[in-house]
Amino acid sequence: MTDSPLFYQAGPALPEVSHADGVTLWDTAGKAYLDGCSGAIACNLGHGRLDIRSAMLDQLDRVAFTYRTQFESAPALALGRALVALTDRALQKVFFVSSGSEAVESALKLARQYFVATGETQRQRFVSLRPSYHGSTLGALGVTGYRPLEAPFAELTRASLKVPGPDFYRHADRDDGAHVDRVLAETRAAIEAAGPESIIAFVLEPVGGASTGARLLGERYLKGIRALCDEFGCLLILDEVLTGVGRTGAWFAYQHYGVTPDLLATAKGLGAGYYPVGALLARDDIVDEVMASGGFQHGHTYAGNPLACATGLAVIEAIRRERLLENTRARGEQLGAGLRALAERYAWVGQVRGLGLLWGVELVADPATREAFPAEQNRFAQLTALAREEGLLIYPRRTLDGVAGDHVLVTPPLTIRTDEVETLLERLGRAMARFDRALADEATV
Ligand code: PMP
């Protein structure tokens, strides 16, 4: 790998992939890996699906690309209608993009343009959580709460007002309800200090993804944020790039909580790794205002092309046909129970949390104080490397801003079977046993 022209992130050389099928990937040396994280929580249907392949080939044979200002296409219209239906028509308009960052970026810009159109131009700032991750483009980075990513670009981004979300693992309040009420009161105070009339929107993931290791925010908190947005006249943007299209066992994670957003960004699982496709969903009165003011001043070349939309449509049809939301809930319970059983063996597992097939395992140096491992020890990477050796891919994240410990995400494809969940847990169990021995060896030298 030393002569590879590719550069992405610092780290050890990577194996070269050969092929994949179902939940398994093989490298060119013949080693098999169970895809315990759907790549980057994207390959939600697993690999090598013939139904998606044939939908894509059919579309390729017709027309692969048209530009959104020249044609509408049957796949774009059908996928748009399907997405609106998945929200039970709570959101009625769709704007296509090709990635999660683009979906978030589009949401931020549509929200701002709405207030320009309605004459509230003093609304210039977003509110978001720390820690959080909303994408790598400069706008999405501005609402992202993760200092190592923000730091080099601090002068170039427009930073949002960052507030903490609830932390049901570490809080010292009387109970969870009291904790949520305190967090909401502090958030209200922060917004009041910044000036509620200056806020465009609150941006957050309804269930934390990579940035918090599947931290659940809960109904009381999400309803509280919805109420704050209504009171202050700002919009609620939900980032469902990772949670959308089935990952949590509902089409969208907000549907677990009875909270409706004004704008919603989704991507990863919509193309399920077969083609990049994402979408911004919005309330029609918001879009109507923007269109009446001259149109949305935004767009990307590949947005809504027929091949992308045919892929997204085939993904949604497969989830429906194979009842994958049900499978996600059932296999999610199995996986969660298995992870909790593994966690009981080791004091360094701080917390196992999740919903559907989105599970996070937080690693701590001291279970009594819930203190995180020192960041420079890179424990998340150590456990992930051991799992890889055992033939299991999991998604690693380091300690975030001292707010959460190292964690790994376990997020297999929504198609995973009972026996495959067992295999996943066996391999993770072996990796955890080796990690535990490595910690013990370090302690004795
Ligand atoms: N928002 C969330 C919640 C994400 O998890 C991600 C990707 N990890 C993004 C936005 C950005 O998506 P993309 O990498 O497709 O640009």
Reading the block at residue 415, the tokens are: 């198609």
Cβ atoms within 10 Å of 240's Cβ, excluding its own: 30
Which of residues 443 and 155 earns the better pLDDT score? 155
CATH topology match: 17-48+323-444 vs 52-321: no
- Low-confidence winner among 75-89, 389-403, 406-420 (lowest mean pLDDT): 389-403
Contact 31, 302 (CB under 8 A): no
> Averaged over 334-349, what is the pLDDT?
97
pLDDT of 1 over the 60 cut: no
ipTM associated with this complex: 0.99
pLDDT of amino acid 399? 66
The angle formed by the CA atoms of residues 208, 211 and 216, to the nearest 5 degrees, is 20
Q: What percent of the chain clears pLDDT 70, i.e. is strictly above it?
A: 98
Give the C-alpha separation, 77 to 112, whole Å: 26
Give the C-alpha separation, 14 to 11, whole Å: 9
**Quick one: which H or E segment has residue 306?**
helix 306-321
Residue that is written with structure tokens 């305190």 in the block: 182
> Averaged over 58-85, what is the pLDDT?
97
Give the C-alpha separation, 444 to 435, whole Å: 15
pLDDT of amino acid 13? 85
Residue 208 in contact with ligand 1 by CB distance below 6 A = no
For 368-436, what is the HEC assignment? CCCEECCHHHCHHHHHHHHHHHCCEECEEECCECCCECEEEEECCCCCCCHHHHHHHHHHHHHHHHHHH
Residue 216 in contact with ligand 1 by CB distance below 6 A = no
pLDDT of amino acid 106? 98
Contact 315, 45 (CB under 8 A): yes
Residue 241 in contact with ligand 1 by CB distance below 6 A = yes
**Quick one: which H or E segment has residue 19?**
strand 17-21
CA 251 to centroid of ligand 1, rounded, Å:
17
Pairing of strands 32-35, 392-393: parallel
| Maximum pairwise Cα distance, the chain | 70
Sketch the domain layout of the chain as residue ranges: 17-48+323-444, 52-321
pLDDT of amino acid 124? 98
CA 409 to centroid of ligand 1, rounded, Å:
14
CA 83 to chain centre: 18
For residue 90, what are the contacts with CB-CB under 8 A and spacing of at least 6? Answer: 260, 283
Does a cis peptide bond (omega within 30 degrees of 0) precede residue 131?
A: yes
Residue of 242, 270, 277 best suited for mutating to test ligand 1, as the one with most atoms within 8 Å of CB: 242
Buried b (16+ CB within 10 A) or exposed e, 142-174: bbbbbeeebeeeeeebebbbbbebbebebeeee
CATH architecture of 52-321: 3-Layer(aba) Sandwich (3.40)
Question: What value does the mean pLDDT of the chain take?
Answer: 96
Q: Looking at domain 17-48+323-444, which of 2.40.50.100, 3.90.1150.10, 3.40.50.2300, 3.40.50.300 is its CATH number? A: 3.90.1150.10
Reading the block at residue 337, the tokens are: 């129970």
CA 238 to centroid of ligand 1, rounded, Å:
12
Residue 128 in contact with ligand 1 by CB distance below 6 A = no
| Coil vs helix vs strand at 239 | strand
CA 105 to centroid of ligand 1, rounded, Å:
11
